[in-house]
Amino acid sequence: MSVAFLFPGQGAQYAGMLHDIKNKWGLATTFEEASEVLNQDVLSLDSSEKLKYNKNVQICLFIAGVATARSFKNKGYSPEVVGGHSIGAFGAAVASEVLSFKEALLLVKKRGELMGNAYPDGHGMGVVMGLREHQLLSIVHELSTDAAPVYVANLNAPDQITISGTLKAIEKVLEKASKKGARKTKMLHVTVPSHCPLMEGVSNELRKTITEVKGKDPIVPFIGNCKARKLWKAADVKEDLAASVALPVRWHDTTEVMYEMGTRLYIEMAPGRVLTDLAAKSFPEARAISAAESTVKTLMILMEKEKM
């Protein structure tokens, strides 16, 4: 049996989260290192006002995930496989030692800046629950236009899928999805149309930067966002990090690959809970737990049992 570390993406953030994590996990050095790299106090970035900006959200989520994973590592506990949802993939890249903390943090900052500047207004994301991918694709293809495009984005579960594009088109898709039997639809509090072709320019710019980073081959399997496959080469991980900005995140497939590898304990790094719920629903024979909602002692005991 094996343990997987899951690194959450946008939507997991909340005001004060870095302060909470620092107090709980006691890794002051991670926050000091991040502040030195960015030349600013990162603990000032998790206020409700600062988290209105995409770049700050991405930076905070990255730092939170790495700080949690480092706490395990410092106590002698490591995962057998890692994966991250969207921005979470950068934390997974650090946990698998493909990128150094500094390298990844600077890339995350660049990613956040590029994404935040790409579409200042009129774009975003929505989520549809209760329809399968082929059903939602049919609706999207019917309603998407050159003037108001919309795309299927993150495949979080077989019946939980996000869409990205113009707000006008997203609203039409959500309305049609409800009429076609979706049990729930809603607009997300996201101002960027992530993981769709509208982000190809961002992806290309990020690729130029990330290719300048040498990186190292992962010490444990890294499951990529784009194709949900085990990646063993630094070049493949870096390409996945760059490409995924403009491609759907195949998250359910990612966790399914982990399960097929023998994962029976999924631990979601702070501050997330959503990935925990998704794994628990998809793999009832496994155990999924949120580090943010558990104690360090409990998590250590669970990891020891899983490795027996």
For 216, residues 6+ apart whose C-beta sits below 8 A from its C-beta are 97, 98, 234
**Residue 187: C-alpha distances to residues 37, 155, 197 (Å):** 35, 16, 19
Q: Which of 16, 46, 94 is nearest to 269 (CA)?
A: 94
Quote the tokens at residue 287.
């155990």
Nearest residue to 166 (alpha-carbon basis) of 119, 117, 122: 122
Which residue in the block uniquely carries the two structure tokens 């905070």? Answer: 60
Strands 150-157 and 160-166: antiparallel
Is 244 among the residues known to form the active site?
Answer: no
Residue of 86, 96, 144, 194 with catalytic role: 86
User: What is the DSSP track for 148-213?
Assistant: S-EEEEEEEETTEEEEEEEHHHHHHHHHHHHHTT-SEEEE-S--S--SSGGGHHHHHHHHHHHTT-
The one-letter code for the residue type at 249 is V
The CA-atom distances, in angstroms, between 266 and each of 79, 228, 283 are: 9, 16, 10
Q: Which of 96, 144, 164, 195 is catalytic?
A: 195
For the chain, the straight-line distance linking the first and the last C-alpha, in angstroms and rounded, comes to 8
Is 195 designated active site? yes
The residues that are catalytic are 86, 195
